[in-house]
Structure 1
Amino acid sequence: MMAFISDMMRVLTRDSIRRAVLVCCVPALVFYLLALLILTQAGFTLVEILRDTAQTTGESSFLGFVSSFGAWLWVAAASVAAFRVVVEGRGATGAHRRLALLLAGFSFFLALDDFFMIHDRFLTEGILIPLYILFLYYLIRRFWPLIARVDGTAFLMAGGFLAMSVIVDAVQEILPISYGASQALEEGFKFLGGAGWLYFCTRVAAHRLVVAPVEEG
């Protein structure tokens, strides 16, 4: 026990505490307070903001389960790509870091779009989808040699599934199947595309990443 306390006191240095507070606690607290302030000003109560949707509505916790899990895929992709950027540090340069940074930002926006239904309620798909296509075209034109070296198959697989989701959404009214079946088909392609995108981002984040070994005491 005394050895644990000694190690704990050695770990809790002034620099480590300051870094944890500035990098983690302060941004999290600012986000939390701003969210409460903005949403209360928008007319929501604290209970409505803080409680889960299932608690507020009294519905099953599995309501929208697949949709929510799909948003997690985008968040996870953004996280692993951002991890690569952070690990390489501010001073790092090169195509690999720029690619990881672009993937992190794009994945985060996809998460916001999916979670808040931006393309359904705020910006039409006629605006967002072309922007997504242009961004992917830029990635291919600028980074294709690197993408192919890391895992071109994963990139093309993710893009293919997402493209199929968009196509099904565009033609679902003329498909000879029920609306529920067309939705299942569209969301299935999108889910597979999200999983493929996460896999590709993970491959980019792990590609030739050298991590210093942890010293054991």
Structure 2
Amino acid sequence: MASGIENILALRGDPPRDSASYDRASDAFQYAEQLVKFLKERSSRNGGRGFGIGVAGFPEGHPDTPNRLKEMDYFKQKIDAGADYICTQLFFDNRDFYDFRERCELAGIHVPIIAGIMPVSTKNGFVRMAELSLGSRFPAKLLRAVGRAADDTATARVGLHWATEQCRDLLDNQVRGIHFYTLNKSDATRQVFENLGVSSSRALQGQGSKD
């Protein structure tokens, strides 16, 4: 594209913080599916590939949809509307990602799934993650390790080790890509790269993929 932007992550978005008078029914796009369809139609009008369009995936389940069977039906609607790839919410147990990937296959969803990883850096940040991720599970082993950490420096080491092992396991199991939630702090991501022995993000894209 002329602007250099090639991909758009289409998200429904969070309601305003002061949401007492907020009415989602008045939004132009009430659901991400509608935004995907809008982008797909307009990005390909002039021919060519247009924008790559991504959507959010929730390995542990969407917080607004407790019915997990219905959740996959709704999720497939976003893919069928024209999404090219999925970027997941952060998670700390890879088994949740693999289960989500398999459920996508069962639902007939075959676009690439990019795993969302966020290294723990501080104990306060850990609590903030729980708020941002809207229901992510924190494995007992991780909680125990963070609880043992004497200070934020030790907590960061725990988080770096956990994220590195997550990424190593994901790459060994043919993940199509890894997205790091950095919150504008890239030190941990760079250290994960070093631990994995890679120097470029290309090494984290599509290992084991046949296409």
Q: TM-score, normalised by structure 2?
A: 0.23
Point out the structure with max Rg over C-alpha. Answer: 1
Higher RCO, 1 vs 2 (CA within 8 Å, ≥6 residues apart) = 1
Q: Structure 1 or 2: larger strand share?
A: 2
Q: TM-score, normalised by structure 1?
A: 0.22
